[in-house]
Amino acid sequence: MPELPEVEVSRLGVSPHLINNTIDNIIVRERRMRWPIPDDVSLVVGHKINDVKRRAKYLLIETDVGSLVLHLGMSGKLRVIDASTPLIKHDHVDIVLNTGLCLRLNDPRRFGAVLFQAPNAALTLFNNLGPEPLTDAFDDNRLFALSRGKKSPVKSFIMDNAVVVGVGNIYANEALFLAGIDPRRQAGRISAERYKRLTENIKLVLAKAITQGGTTLKDFAQTDGNPGYFAQHLNVYGKKGENCEVCGNMIQSKVIGQRNTFFCLHCQR
């Protein structure tokens, strides 16, 4: 599943091809996505794209009459290609530009979304989202205050979008390892000092992943590319049974909140 860094890299990759160009057409081949694609998406046709922003894992393609809101779901990919490029299986939506290019959404599992947001109107799915993790609005004081009395595992706590958006499974595992915190510990029993360390490492692992993903930006304009995913060094995620690179002990795995969780019993307490 694409996580926040992958979505941010998608935004960076498609933005130069979209901003200041006009949407000539919206071609919807399959409306049955996570939510049915509304007819309102056609309202942006004929209008210039002013900006491409991100909120959590949603991309917002902004025009004067409203925004297209895109979500990649579990398997969605975006490519900027010539509008005449032959279709492949699961090419569900084209946003056709006046330049002859189009932004094409391919989504085999159809858990993605294409929605319309009117100017100054808030989509209900944004109502309960917490702050962006790479902004000043997300800090250790907030994390510590919200954790008080929480009996849920700290990993589940930091993956709660009402607490902070975009800390997905991979990066929750990695941040907790770097902060030296056992992911199974109750969120309410972790000190303010340790939350300060955790906040710093959440920001660190996400920023580092976005930087690493910058090497793939050219892939968004390749017909046969696989954009949005990139190799990165991981300390614990997916490494059950391997030796910890820090201490040499075997990395453990446990399911927490229906997600595989990886940790080192020696390095994390």
Q: Residue 221 class from Cβ within 10 Å (0-12 exposed, 13-18 middle, 19+ buried)?
A: middle
Reference 40, options 26, 51, 61, 59; nearest CA is: 26
Rounded to an integer, what distance in angstroms lies between the CA atom of residue 251 and that of residue 238? 9
Catalytic residue ranges = 2-3, 57, 259
- Would the annotation count 151 as a binding residue? no
Q: Give the DSSP letter of residue 22.
A: B
Q: How far is CA 55 from each of CA 3, 131, 157, 252, rounded to the nearest angstrom?
A: 12, 9, 20, 33
Residue 17 · residue 179 · CB < 8 Å: no
Sheet containing 113-117, strands listed edge to edge, beginning at the edge strand earlier in sequence: 51-55, 58-63, 66-71, 113-117
Phi, psi of 44 (to 5 degrees): -85, -10
Q: Does 48 appear as a known binding residue? A: no
Instruction: Decide if 103 contacts 17 (C-beta within 8 A).
Output: yes
Query: What is the CB neighbour count within 10 angstroms for residue 63?
Result: 19
90 is an annotated ligand-binding site residue? yes
Residue ranges of the annotated binding site are 90, 109, 150
Residue ranges of the annotated binding site for DNA are 90, 109, 150
